[in-house]
Structure 1
Amino acid sequence: MSAVRKVLDTMLWYARELVGETEYDRYCERHRRHHPKAPVPTRREFHRIRTLQRECEAPGRCC
């Protein structure tokens, strides 16, 4: 039974990595480490910040 559980855990981990679910978790860990007294942004705020950063850093379009 433990081998099946290990395979399922690995598949779940891979799926979360693939869709970017773990980005917020890693961000929270870094944020708490570097800014221990500051409140951690919510998941929604995190995604808003990431979207704004990606839009500002987008390379120029050719068309």
Structure 2
Amino acid sequence: MATDVARPTGPSLLAGAARAWRALRWYVRGLTGEARYDAYVAHERSAHPGRTPMSPREFWRCVYRDQDANPGSRCC
């Protein structure tokens, strides 16, 4: 008994792969914290257009300094 199963081909297959890649990239950027810096830069540009945003290195130093000063509910 043969059944006709629609398999993605051509453009729909590429669109699905591209969508999967974007989802994976979004997840990894959120997991590594890279999205935090991008959100900071977007905020600085919209809320403070005349101010130059911190470099990524300065941003992460500030974040880690704040975490050390206010550990909150982390274990270490």
Identify the match of residue 21 of structure 1 among 34, 38, 44. 34
Structure 2 matches for 1:1-63, cutoff 5 A?
Answer: 1-59=14-72
Greater fraction of residues in helix:
1
CA RMSD in angstroms, aligned pairs only: 1.0
Higher relative contact order (CA 8 A, sep 6+): 1
Aligned identity (percent) is 27
Cα distance in 2 for partners of 1:16, 1:40 equals 20
Aligned residues: 59
TM normalised by structure 1 equals 0.85
Unaligned runs of 5+ in 1: none
Q: Deviations over 1:14-60 (max 9, x none)?
A: 1111111100000001111121101111000000111111111124x
Q: Following the alignment from structure 2 to structure 1, what is the Cα–Cα distance between the partners of residues 26 and 71?
A: 29
Structure 2 unaligned regions, length at least 5 = 1-13
Structure of higher CA gyration radius: 2
